[in-house]
Amino acid sequence: MALSNEYIKEKLIEKFGDQVTGFEEPYSLLTFRSDKEINLKVLNFLVEEESLQFGFLTDLCGVHYPDNKGQEIAVVYHLHNMRENVRIRYKVFTSIAKPEVYTATGIFAGANWMERETYDFYGVNFIGHPNLKRILNVEEMDYFPMRKEYPLEDQSRIDKDDEMFGR
């Protein structure tokens, strides 16, 4: 039996009720979110549940939404069920004032560096991570460069008229 998006959605709602929300299917990839407090429970359920078996962590990354007050930072997991070849996307949101999410390293060994990268760029503090330090940037850095408050170009430049460049 092919694993359909509706079935995964039903299973999740059956287990977690209204704690999992925001079901969408952009480009037919099932996307949903939950409270950050239960991220390990959801991940564990997705891995352990006999009929789901999303045992492969394809990708983990952060996104910054500065306008989303109280929930500025998203941590996005892409999971893959290799037997049925179904992918899903799971998001948790956390505030930028206290960006804390439980680490998934206990479930996926591969989450280790991906979480370090997310910490490096977005400052997400993965609670329980065995070695949470910067990985691509220098350790002396005291800011998180992928956040939107660090725009790429020097905004004080006046020799370029942005309107002329479609920006």
What are the CA-CA distances from residue 99 to residues 5, 72, 90, 127, 157 (Å)? 30, 9, 17, 10, 32
Site residue total, other proteins (CB under 8 A) = 39
143 binds other proteins (CB under 8 A): no
CB neighbours (10 Å) of residue 19? Answer: 15
- Give all strands (DSSP E) within 46-111, no chain letters: 56-64, 73-81, 86-94, 100-102
CA atoms of 11 and 89, how far apart (whole Å): 15
Between CA 116 and CA 133 the distance in angstroms is: 6
Pick from 6, 21, 82, 100 the residue near other proteins by CB under 8 A. Answer: 82
CB 23 within 8 A of CB 16: no
Contact call for residue 141 and other proteins (CB under 8 A): no
Q: What is the DSSP letter of 90?
A: E
Give the interface segment with other proteins, choosing from 3-11, 13-21, 93-101, 138-146 (CB under 8 A): 138-146
Q: Which of 89, 92, 103, 144 binds other proteins (CB under 8 A)?
A: 89
Interaction of residue 114 with other proteins, rule CB under 8 A: yes
Nearer to other proteins, 34 or 112 (CB): 112
Q: Which residues bind other proteins (CB under 8 A)?
A: 26-27, 29, 31, 55-59, 61, 63-64, 76, 78, 82, 85, 87, 89, 108-110, 112-114, 117, 121, 134-138, 145-146, 151-153, 165-167
